[in-house]
A and B are shown apart, each in its own frame.
Chain A
Amino acid sequence: MTESEGAEEETTLHYFAIKTTSKQERTVADNIKKAVDQTDIKVYSVMAPKELQGYVLVETPEKLNRMEQLIERVPHARAILRGETALAEVAHFLVPKPVVSGIVEGTIIELIAGPFKGEKAIVKRVDSGKEEITVELYESMVPIPITVRGDNVRVIDRGEDR
């Protein structure tokens, strides 16, 4: 009983967050791989989600002190957070939801990029496959449909209270 518990503990995976220099998350992930190849420290995967700026997540069977040893060899890795997380908490980063998920027809949005930046518009059609939305500008005299990328807009009013 205790033996099996011991074996189970040995294979327990830990998920640590490593603080990185700003915009160097990808470099740090690559550097961790290089450092792992040069040492006997085991790391199974390194994740750098877009939503988590300034951090990378490592999946490892090793303890915190071994990870501290590892990051000393990794350029742009600044510190390791003392607390650890679980797979259930980081799993949502692995399946990013479509950027148009909160947008429906009739939603009022503001364009945040492109030639119409700063203009407000109303959503006329949502293409969740291509992650594009077709909008009509508020201020235009004639209704001209414009198709923009889903991540180029900011939702102002979802129209739920109407």
Chain B
Amino acid sequence: MAVSTKKQLPKVCRECHRVVDGETCVICSTSNLSTDWSGYLVVIDPINSEVAKKVNINLPGRYALKVR
């Protein structure tokens, strides 16, 4: 019953580095997306997070650390 399904990497907005579910970024409304990315950052509370401040993120969500 082993089904070999390769997990597809979600797309990331090249501008805001946000992990996007559809075909356009909801924040930048751009379709400039990439599947070639690495490093993952989940920001839950951008107001109190020092990490979010360091990478200039002010919206909670899932982000990539590096996008090509």
Contacts and interface: CB of A to CB of B under 8 A. Distances in A.
Interface string A1-40: 0000000000101000000000001100110110010000
Interface residues of B, number: 19
Nearest to B9: A26
A131 B39 CA distance: 17
B55 A94 contact: yes
Given A96-B65, A131-B68, A48 B43 contact: no
Contact of A50 (B42, B45, B55, B65): B65
B40 A45 contact: no
Residue among B40, B41, B62 having the largest count of chain A Cβ atoms under 10 Å = B40
Interface string B31-68: 00000001111111100111110110000001001101
A7 B7 CA distance: 45
A101 B43 CA distance: 28
A93 B38 CA distance: 11
Interface in A89-138: 90-91, 93-96, 131
A133 B39 CA distance: 22
Interface of B: 38-45, 48-52, 54-55, 62, 65-66, 68
20 contacts: A11-B48, A25-B40, A26-B40, A36-B44, A43-B44, A44-B48, A44-B49, A44-B50, A45-B44, A46-B41, A46-B42, A47-B41, A47-B42, A48-B39, A49-B65, A50-B66, A93-B65, A94-B65, A96-B39, A96-B65
